[in-house]
Amino acid sequence: MRNHKVFPASRAQRLGSSVSRDEHNEEVSVTEPRLKAGIIVQAAIRQASARGISATVVRHGDDDAGQVFVVVNRGRDIGFVLLAPTRDYDSGKMVWRRPLGEHPLPEYEVDAHIEKERRIDPDLWVLEIEARDGWHPFDEG
């Protein structure tokens, strides 16, 4: 029987960060720690509420690991924008992309995309923000 050494997970690994080593063999976190989905959603709802904007959990996913989709409802006359998180490979930070494009779409198109994603990931969250001006709490600007 071989002797295997078991090393405890580093803090960065436990927090969900990618890890590499620098020239001194010191651990360096390459990406931001991953926040739990429930915390991301709660923070978004609080930010919207502070602005007097309605934010509703349309679909409650896994509190720890579910992916969060955000639907920005700009009104039926303007349309809906879908936001989904991804990692920026250069910075390692989480950024929000628009998987269906920059322009608002009819509600049924956004719903169809979410349903397709839900079949792949049943733990996903859907948060809807009603903001005619397009504001959302993940706006980088």
In contact, 55 and 131? CB cutoff 8 Å: no
**Could you give phi then psi for residue 41, rounded to 5 degrees?**
-65, -45
Domains by residue range for the chain, with CATH: 1-33 (no CATH), 37-130 (3.40.1530.20)
User: What is the value of pTM for the model shown?
Assistant: 0.75
Per-residue pLDDT of the chain (141 residues; tens, 9 = 90+): 444 444 444 444 444 444 455 455 555 545 556 789 999 999 999 999 999 999 999 999 999 888 999 999 999 999 999 999 988 888 888 889 999 999 999 999 999 999 999 999 999 999 999 999 999 998 865
CA of residue 31 relative to chain centroid, distance: 14
Q: Which of 105, 43, 101 is CA-nearest to residue 79?
A: 105
